[in-house]
Structure 1
Amino acid sequence: MTFKEMIEKKNSVSPYAPAERTLVKAFPAILVAMFFLFGLQGTLSAQLSTATMFGIVADASGALIPNATVVLTQTATNFVRTTVSKSDGSYRAEFLPVGPYKVQVKAAGFKELVQTGITLNATQEAGINFALEAGGESVVVTVTSEVPLVNTGNSVLGRTIDNREVDNLPLVNRDAYQLLSLTAGVQSVSNENSIGVPMEHVIINGSSDNMVGQVTYYLDGGLNMTGLRNTGNVIPNPDAIDQFAVETNNFGAQYGRTGAGVVSVLTKSGSNQVHGSVFEFHQETNFNSDAWLQTARTPQHINRFGATLGGPVMKDKIFFFGSYGGLRQVSPQTFNTVVPDALQRVGNFSENLPTTTPAAGLAGCATTLNAADKARTNYGGAFFVCDPVTHLPVAGNRLDLDPNYVPDPVAAAVLSKNVPLPSANRPTPDNRFLGVEGLPNSTNEFLIKSDLQFIPHHRMTLDYFQSNGSQINLPSGSNLPGWALSNYTYRQQNANVSDVWTLSARSVNQIWASYTRMIAGRISNPPESLAAFGSDINVQGTQSLPDISVANFFHLANAISGPVAGDNVYGLRDVYSTTRGKHTINVGGEGYLEYDHLETLLNNYGTFSFANSTVPKTAATQVGFVKTGAAIADFLIGHPNTMGQDSPDDANERYWNYGVFLQDDWRVTPTLTLNLGVRYDVQTAPIDNQSRIAVFQPGSQSTVSPLAIPGQLFPGDPGVPAGGVGTNYNHMSPRVGFTYDAFHTGRTVFHGGAGLFFDSISGNEWMLSQNFQPFAVRETGAFSHVVSLQNIYSTDCQDFAGCVSPFPYIYSKTNPKYVSPASLVFLQKGMRWPYNTQVNFGVQQQFSKDLAVTINYVGAFSRKIPLYIDHNAPIFNTANPASNVTGNVNCRRPFDAVPVATATTCANPAVGSKYYSNAYVIEDGQTTNYNGLQVSVVKRLSNHVSVNGFYIWSKGLASASLQTTGNIGNSGTTEPEDYYNLGLERQRTDNDVRHQAVVSAVWKPDYFGSFNGITRALLNGWSISAITTLRSGKPFNITSGTDDNVDGDNNDRPNLLAGKFAHTLSNGSRAAERKQWFDTSAYCRSGSAGCPAGGGVSGLDGMVSPNSLDGPGYKDVDAAIFRDFNIYERVKFQFRGEATNVFNFVNLNAPGGTLSSTSAFGVITGAGNMRVLQVGGRLLF
């Protein structure tokens, strides 16, 4: 499917497409109407892409000067803003375009002051005081001075990363998001692409993720995030970025939607001088270091290239800026896989015949192999092959000579077309295929921006950004080429229009209109199913090949795909700012309409698992058992151990985000400022056009769908609104802060603040129930009686009613279908939105014009965080403890359990019956707490060196695992151990790094000005920069790997033996550390002999806390060296070399933490990336 077809499909299948198209057509008119509606009175966010300058005008003695004229000129574009000092000598100018400034201050009886060297950054509140000298007004005093390093305007924590840092610091992957890690409080920056949408995840001050991110992202003032999981979108290449701001604590009432932080990226603009760049950066395998403990390097070939151009269209009036960036990458995937040789393909397994003598009769194929046979690996290992009908060992393992051997034609076709023979250059004696497949990745991005200031009192900005990408991925687990590939394709579009209207010297209004579109897809290639090989498989929706795994041999893998994933966001935001006396008042609001769309095919292609199995030993258990006991032989006859198949899901949601706010920055005295704000937010509960949302209310029967399983209610049922959950209208967020200039010098500033910040929910969170029954059938591994790949359904009447395919499955309210026992997902009735309380208190000290230190206490406390909770978890039978086994969990559930067959087994549910297994309810009851000491140091460039760094000592706690990217708490070891004993889940957060230090530095060693010309030419002009990161280890889990409390999940944790305690070992050498990182002898399985009693009703819950031990620490130095070579006048060529982990530090991964994996328990088997080198060049003008 081409990208054009994908977009057309999206528009054709979306029920909201007509409304969306109408809204798109009407959008310009809406913008005009809203502009006039809000032009004179505010409606939201302050300066996402602009800055503020404020201060006091006084004379040499400190006496305040009222009515002084302050003229601010942005020297790159000659933008001019004029304001007048008030009776207390104070002045303030809001919504100033970022960049270099010249300020002229005039007052009767004083010399005119002209100050240059001022550079304003996005979201910055720059406090600059002016001291005028008495004298004639015709005398001009010129000084050069930069913006002070302390903040006297507000108590917001964060920092702005300006263009000099973006240009100078090492950035090997050319992803400017990575520079977020230079901000104190940013704990994790990562990117993933699990649903086709590029998603940026940022964890700030202990915030959660779990499919519901808590950080808001902006690009040039417009929203730049995808509401599917509240993650950041793609941003332009670094050459197009002017700066970006990160606010991490107690940001003003201007900001809403999320509660942990704000990331605002600002692109470059045109100016009166033509400027631009042409660049290319290259990474190659031979540039890099070998992977840890390996002699081979990870294959790599990456080219990043592009150009920027900016300048005037009409001097001082109209400016333009444009950018293009491209990526071309090939990631080779190597294969080393056991494949059947020519003999095995026809059923001759004599090469695999064990030397062990088989037992007599039906027990023959269950014979335990001797040590030598167990150790064999060549030709796929040693195993017995049994007759699928008599269940007796086949003579000589020659299945091809057995009269009951009937090859499956579909399996034969798959072998012939897609499973190669062993390679000629393979190790012998072994039947391995050795190969390589290149996986391409390419992106193209475009940015066009225009600034217009030809209308008096108005400055408008229009910009459009588009990024297209295509990445070919090999499905996880696939170990042969030429089967299924996933093409992750996306298109992102951002359009922003803003206008700053200077109403008077004291009043300014800014309005933004934005449109953000992210449409992506996971497209499986080739677009064919197992039917292409002669099977009668019925694939509902887009066709793709199945997932076929054959134990000890090959895995032809596929992955969940979906033609469409993404959203469209229409936004309008306005803020009106006015200064009245000692008060600067901002009043405003915002509104966003969002459409989320996720078409997921799930496992519609079918999954077939062929596993080695121990053949039953008694005649009674042979009934219906038609397998050979050997996975590869079962594949030849088309008898999988299990088959699964799903129906696809097409989810659509729409919802609104509204917010209004009032912010008053009250300059009580020249040294004390109070920041007083209040915000009111509403996010409507997402609404699905087909009402495919479920809530859980045990004992109730739906009236909307009377045949639904009991306890499952839908919109329209009593107490269930259209969104499943009622919209909350009580999100009032007060915020307060202060700054105090303790000694009236502007050098020692105390600040503090506190506020309430509401988070939003995500579209994918609301869509989860649509992936489950009765909206979609998900039966991975549920069918265990399939005996043919050619005629899947007609030969299996036990799994498929009427011996026919259950697909296509179409949801119907009047006739919902279930495959029991059904695992279902619900929303909590009465669910609340999460919120975050933030506090900070600290002091800033500027020691010189270039050096300042900040010390802060930072607290962040999140509540009402969502998490999967199984309300139908199995109950432990305390009256008969021996009856609790993993096999009967579905008949020990409290609601609509499967009937009991015996004390330890459940009955087989009849086809069409309605019984529960799990009833996962997305609940709002989780919490996180973060407390930290954050110390920051900044030294501006002087004496050839600039430094910017921080140290953090902190602790983060959570009530459960809440920082796992891409899920909402039900994934492997992150799932609670016991849903009836959730207190056991209290833990350190996944990113609780107790000590962390990050320092960036730039060194310009121009010490050779007095030397001869050759020396100056060779040694001057170089720049060396580095980012040093040091941190203590992240916590990791210890699990038993077994179902000790017999609730059906193997995510239990162990207990500590008497007299033992959990601790890591100080073994000295790295070799000793990686062999045993912690005391593995301290742990035991709950319920095992000699192990102390566990917790919970069963007494079998492991009592070791999650994240109880620290993994290895981390140290890294990324470095860059570059130099500009003059070519002609303003044209330069910059040579640049950059490296990650330049000193090749070995950063060990976390050790194995699963008790049942005895050989890996406590052992470290991997390490982080070693040195990666990038070389490049930039033509600058």
Structure 2
Amino acid sequence: MTVLKLRRGILVALALVFCLNGAVAMHAQSGQADVQGVVTDVSGSIVVKAQVVLTNTDNGEKRTVTTASDGRYSIPTVAPGHYSLTITAPTFSPETINGLVIQLDNHVNQNVTLQAGNATQSITVQSAVPAVDTTSYDVGGVVEQAQIEDLPIQNRQYLALALLTPGTTQAASRSFYSNVQSGGGVYYYANGFYWDGVSNQQTEEGDPRQNIPEDSVAEFKTYTASMPADLGWAMGGFTTVVSKSGTNKIHGDVFEYYRDTALTADTSFDKATELAEHTGSPLYKRNQWGGSIGGPILKDRIHYYGAFERTQATTSWTLFEPAGSAAAADYASLLGTFQHPSHDQLLTVRVDDDLKPNQQLFFRYSQEWQLSTANGCGGQTTAYCYDGEFPRKAYVVGHTWEPKPNMVNEARFQYAYISYELGPYNTPIPTKPEQLANPIYSQNVSLAYDFPSLSFGHNYAAVGVESRWQVNDSLTIQKGAHSIKIGADVSYIPYIDSDDLNLNGTYTFLTDQPFDDTPATEAKLSNPYQFTQNAIPQIFYLPSTQQSYFVEDSWRVKPNLTVNAGLRYDLQRGASFLDTYTPNTTTEPVIPGEGNPHDRGDYHNVGPRVGVSWDPFKKGNDVIRAGYGIYYNFIQTELQESEKLNFKNCNISLTTGIAPAGTPPNHVLPYPNPYNGLSVTDYCSTTPLTVATLSPYLQNPYMHQFSLGYSRQLGKDLSLSVDGLYNRGLRDYKIYDLNIPANYPANTARPDPTFYQINQNASTSANEYKGFYVKFDKRLSHRYMYTASYALSSSHDNNPHQAPTNYNNLGEDWGPAQFDQRNALVLSGSVDLPYRIQVGGIYSLRSNLPFSVTTSTLSPNMFPVNTNADGTAQYVPGTTRDQGNRGINYAAINAYRADLDANVNPYMSACRSGVAPGTGSCLSTNLGPKSIASTGYNDFDLHISVIAYKHNSLQLKIVGQAFDLFGTENNLTINTAPTTNSFGAATSGNNVQIGELAAQFSF
């Protein structure tokens, strides 16, 4: 498929979206909630053509419908907020029901009994939305405004509160993205994110595209299973966010959150580094400030809301050599401690306009400016460390139209943009991919120098730009007991990526030499051992499309029984399969197994979904629910880039042999010009290439999701939910070397001598997830609220996106997933105390993560040969994948270590005879579970605030927060190398005991 065909395809898809309603109406979906019921008189007879008006009491927006011939009314697609319901009919007294607080995805059943009377005899009653939704079948949870305001949130990132929902975890480690995995027993790239009804996700890796100011988040819902058919392209969990709108009153706030060195404790790893480098606690200062304002432009019609916040921090990093060492003298002018500033700035502006009683218009603009410096600098290196900017923005326009009282059309349009712009540390940051091919910029990517004690240089730059043009439309029709929804969602996603990795080369020296990054000392360097270079900038264009079409019907079979059936079709084209790519077979060798890219693609992604919810006692307090669905995942752009880079690189590696001391070197590597005046490309490597390709049968991965649950309302604001899940995932990809030698290690010859490795991505990965969730949820009332959630789960897979460890036994890769935390307990709550004091807290307890024990160090008896011709580290004999913390065979590890000591370790005899081992030591052979540091998570965060001043709507609040209050060191990584005596020791950890002070003035 050519780019031209790709664009034509997207135009056809867009035309289909608009044809759903015959009008170009655009609206960002405001919520999935609905209100319905039956209107009767005191005798139980139905009241036909009664007028039902739903009014948003915050902004005056009204929705009007009439009851049908069966007395039923239904108001679909209601935004979260505070509402009243007024019902009028001839010969009856009007009735107004106040106090309806509707959350995202609520299905509110409000039956009404009218009293005989006239229009002057109005009746007003107070009602509330039940704590249990008896018509919903999904598994998940809503985080409401009170929790966002009153619970401690590190960095004011709302998504951290998704962890209040059982089945979510925080096991992923992401550099500048969110690390919440929201369900399904799969990785971060399998989650979905919507903001006001449009995608807030990037296709490069699958992360959330933009952070959102906390003040602009009204509430959000995280689905961990059984989401409806209008949500997709995620085989794991899904999070939908609704932003705040203005009301008829001007309201807003300004705030400042502050941290510094005195409020932040150091981890044991920090302390060890500070002691070794003689730096003491490093400089740390952090300010997070901003505000919001919303109100009317035209009362009851046009409203605005805006939020802004900026986080700026200054830390430091140290380039260090041990005091008194020769290296410390060689590099003295480069060593020291340097500042490390960063900032993240967020802005959101939203305007809502009630054009007519049956039409609403909405516009949102959001932007993020992020700077991060000196990433990867420190210790003994500046090579490959970088400064980065990450600009992001989105424009969203939407329109809601009710052409008939029983029909609502929602359409929405989005243009979004995100890029990462990385430049060598302390040099100008590039802003466009084309700059990396321009000599004017690429001179900033300097020559690098790699000494035994120091790696120094500025040799990494990269720019990736992704935009999204999205249109979606959904039409909801209420017909009797049926709520039918049909829609389409189409995105065109251009993406361009580039890098200058080691563009001007790196010299490697086997000895330390005086060096201060000046021409004088550079000229004096001598006897380089190696020179490497990637001499050609890499720039490639990878556009793609995502198309989805769906229909679903929520059928109220009986007042206590609802059946939801849906069908969704997902289609992805372009970069995901590289079907826009044509190999150049006239100048490049044909890659075995590549096939014709234009024949690639997955057209079979039909996903049925069905759910049942049943109130067995017909009292509105209980619901038994079940769901099943097939959920497809999109293929991330970054994971498929490498095929376009085949044969485009110019990799250079020049090495000199080093003769024994006192003799001339075998070969002198020219310095500072390794090419002796010849063209750089004359030295491109001619060794057999390692290439990458996609399987002709590559398909979108998908998940079968099964859920069964029960919820009960224990009180007006208290509910209990219990859910069981079983998920089976298929067709995620693994990487296979198609050029692996047959009968290896007896035969080392590769089948195709033109290539070294031929790494093919094939849809053969699988996973299995079992989960049991329990949650108590007490909504805010009587001055307190709380949640208590527990998840018992098991997640297994065969190591997706990785090559097999042992081609002779593929089953060795099946085991616990890397993020498999068997037990997770999260407690949260807040209470309003006397004297205007409010206290909130979150306690999290999660069990250990698993790990694998792999090695490339051979032992003569237990591990005489590496069974992988590509040199991949193998599981220690007697173990398989991720058995660490999952009943690993320590006897096998001890036997392997004993075999190393007996046959390989040169200090073995000295150790065994009791003689001091000198520079080495024997390996301990009495390892057991207590030898392994914990990778569990134990954390308590606390929020305390006091209202220092209050007058009418004016309020000054003083806030204190503490994260990891008890100072528990939660280890992030441990040493898993079985050939070291530090095996099992922790190597890095989370921050401990972060204190924060804040002031917030609201009006």
Gaps of 5+ in 1: 1-14, 340-376, 382-414, 423-432, 530-537, 614-631, 695-703, 796-802, 810-816, 881-891, 898-914, 963-967, 970-974, 1007-1019, 1067-1075, 1092-1103
What is the aligned partner in structure 2 of residue 332 from structure 1? 316
Q: Is contact 1:475–1:557 with CA below 8 Å preserved after alignment?
A: no
Question: Does structure 1 residue 1122 correspond to structure 2 residue 945?
Answer: yes
What is the aligned partner in structure 1 of residue 178 from structure 2? 200
Question: Does structure 1 residue 503 correspond to structure 2 residue 479?
Answer: no
1:572-651 residue pairs with structure 2 within 5 A?
A: 572-611=471-510, 636-641=525-530, 643-651=532-540
Out of 529, 543, 563, the position equivalent to 1:674 is 563
Out of 622, 642, 666, the position equivalent to 1:748 is 622
Which residue identity is paired with 2:962? Answer: A
Out of 65, 87, 100, the position equivalent to 1:83 is 65
Q: Is contact 2:413–2:470 with CA below 8 Å preserved after alignment?
A: yes
Separation in structure 1 between the aligned mates of residue 74 and residue 24 of structure 2, nearest angstrom: 18
Out of 870, 874, 894, the position equivalent to 2:750 is 894
Alpha-carbon distance, 1:871 to partner: 2.0
Which residue identity is paired with 2:723? Answer: N
What is the aligned partner in structure 1 of residue 136 from structure 2? 154
Larger strand fraction of residues? 2
Separation in structure 1 between the aligned mates of residue 23 and residue 137 of structure 2, nearest angstrom: 26
* Segment of structure 1 superposing worse, 280-289 or 47-56: 47-56
What is the aligned partner in structure 2 of residue 728 from structure 1? 602
Question: Does structure 1 residue 959 correspond to structure 2 residue 826?
Answer: no
What is the aligned partner in structure 1 of residue 285 from structure 2? 301
Superposed CA offset, 1:683-719 (max 9, x none): 113289996566xxxxxxxxx42342343587xxxx5
SS at match of 1:150: coil
Out of 751, 755, 758, the position equivalent to 1:919 is 758
Q: Is contact 2:943–2:959 with CA below 8 Å preserved after alignment?
A: yes
Out of 758, 770, 784, the position equivalent to 2:644 is 770
Alpha-carbon distance, 1:65 to partner: 5.1
Separation in structure 1 between the aligned mates of residue 689 and residue 642 of structure 2, nearest angstrom: 15
Question: Does structure 1 residue 554 correspond to structure 2 residue 454?
Answer: yes
Question: Does structure 1 residue 787 correspond to structure 2 residue 673?
Answer: no
SS at match of 1:337: coil
Alpha-carbon distance, 1:186 to partner: 1.3
1:148-547 residue pairs with structure 2 within 5 A?
A: 148-188=130-170, 192-193=174-175, 198-209=176-187, 213-292=189-268, 294=271, 296-297=280-281, 299-338=283-322, 378-379=325-326, 420-421=331-332, 435-475=336-376, 479=380, 486-525=386-425, 541=442, 543-547=444-448
Alpha-carbon distance, 1:257 to partner: 2.0
Alpha-carbon distance, 1:135 to partner: 6.0
Q: Is contact 1:45–1:590 with CA below 8 Å preserved after alignment?
A: no
Superposed CA offset, 1:874-898 (max 9, x none): 4554658xxxxxxxxxxx243223x
Q: 1:289 to 1:782 in 2, by over 3 A?
A: same
What is the aligned partner in structure 2 of residue 145 from structure 1? 127
Out of 652, 655, 666, the position equivalent to 2:544 is 655
Which residue identity is paired with 2:619? Answer: T
Alpha-carbon distance, 1:949 to partner: 2.5
What is the aligned partner in structure 2 of residue 1135 from structure 1? 958
Separation in structure 1 between the aligned mates of residue 596 and residue 3 of structure 2, nearest angstrom: 22
Q: 1:743 to 1:557 in 2, by over 3 A?
A: farther
Using structure 1 for the length normalisation, give the TM-score. Answer: 0.73
Out of 708, 716, 725, the position equivalent to 2:588 is 708
Separation in structure 2 between the aligned mates of residue 45 and residue 981 of structure 1, nearest angstrom: 53
What is the aligned partner in structure 2 of residue 827 from structure 1? 694
Separation in structure 2 between the aligned mates of residue 206 and residue 688 of structure 1, nearest angstrom: 25
Separation in structure 1 between the aligned mates of residue 303 and residue 447 of structure 2, nearest angstrom: 54
* Segment of structure 1 superposing worse, 89-98 or 446-455: 89-98
- Number of aligned residues: 933
Out of 89, 99, 103, the position equivalent to 1:121 is 103
1:1022-1101 residue pairs with structure 2 within 5 A?
A: 1022-1042=837-857, 1044=863, 1045-1046=865-866, 1047-1049=869-871, 1051-1056=873-878, 1082-1084=894-896
What is the aligned partner in structure 2 of residue 1144 from structure 1? 967
Which residue identity is paired with 1:1138? Answer: Q
Separation in structure 2 between the aligned mates of residue 90 and residue 746 of structure 1, nearest angstrom: 18
Q: 1:1031 to 1:877 in 2, by over 3 A?
A: closer
Superposed CA offset, 1:31-61 (max 9, x none): 9x88964435899999554532233445668
Q: Is contact 1:602–1:647 with CA below 8 Å preserved after alignment?
A: no
Alpha-carbon distance, 1:519 to partner: 2.2
Separation in structure 1 between the aligned mates of residue 259 and residue 996 of structure 2, nearest angstrom: 5
Separation in structure 1 between the aligned mates of residue 578 and residue 602 of structure 2, nearest angstrom: 21
What is the aligned partner in structure 2 of residue 629 from structure 1? none
SS at match of 2:169: strand
Separation in structure 2 between the aligned mates of residue 979 and residue 476 of structure 1, nearest angstrom: 38
1:64-79 residue pairs with structure 2 within 5 A?
A: 66-79=48-61
Out of 939, 942, 945, the position equivalent to 2:778 is 939
Separation in structure 1 between the aligned mates of residue 579 and residue 715 of structure 2, nearest angstrom: 64
SS at match of 2:78: strand
Separation in structure 2 between the aligned mates of residue 56 and residue 958 of structure 1, nearest angstrom: 49
Using structure 2 for the length normalisation, give the TM-score. Answer: 0.85
Q: Is contact 1:500–1:509 with CA below 8 Å preserved after alignment?
A: yes
Alpha-carbon distance, 1:159 to partner: 1.6
Separation in structure 2 between the aligned mates of residue 61 and residue 559 of structure 1, nearest angstrom: 83
Alpha-carbon distance, 1:678 to partner: 0.5
SS at match of 2:503: coil
CA RMSD of aligned residues (A): 3.9
Which residue identity is paired with 1:227? Answer: T
Which residue identity is paired with 1:1114? Answer: Y
Q: 1:778 to 1:130 in 2, by over 3 A?
A: farther
Alpha-carbon distance, 1:232 to partner: 0.8
Q: 1:325 to 1:45 in 2, by over 3 A?
A: closer
SS at match of 1:177: helix
Alpha-carbon distance, 1:740 to partner: 0.4
SS at match of 1:439: strand
Alpha-carbon distance, 1:637 to partner: 0.8
Q: 1:301 to 1:46 in 2, by over 3 A?
A: closer
Separation in structure 2 between the aligned mates of residue 1053 and residue 849 of structure 1, nearest angstrom: 55
Q: Is contact 1:458–1:501 with CA below 8 Å preserved after alignment?
A: yes
Out of 714, 724, 729, the position equivalent to 1:857 is 724
Q: Is contact 1:253–1:678 with CA below 8 Å preserved after alignment?
A: yes
Gaps of 5+ in 2: 430-438, 513-520, 658-666, 904-926
Q: Percent identity?
A: 21
What is the aligned partner in structure 2 of residue 806 from structure 1? 681
Separation in structure 1 between the aligned mates of residue 428 and residue 967 of structure 2, nearest angstrom: 46
Separation in structure 2 between the aligned mates of residue 174 and residue 1125 of structure 1, nearest angstrom: 22
Which of the pair has more CA radius of gyration? 1
Alpha-carbon distance, 1:474 to partner: 3.9
Q: Is contact 1:844–1:855 with CA below 8 Å preserved after alignment?
A: yes
Out of 565, 568, 571, the position equivalent to 2:467 is 568
Q: 1:1065 to 1:592 in 2, by over 3 A?
A: closer
Q: Is contact 2:444–2:458 with CA below 8 Å preserved after alignment?
A: no
* Segment of structure 1 superposing worse, 1145-1154 or 838-847: 1145-1154
Q: Is contact 1:600–1:649 with CA below 8 Å preserved after alignment?
A: yes
Alpha-carbon distance, 1:201 to partner: 4.5
Superposed CA offset, 1:331-379 (max 9, x none): 211232259xxxxxxxxxxxxxxxxxxxxxxxxxxxxxxxxxxxxx943
Separation in structure 2 between the aligned mates of residue 693 and residue 979 of structure 1, nearest angstrom: 31
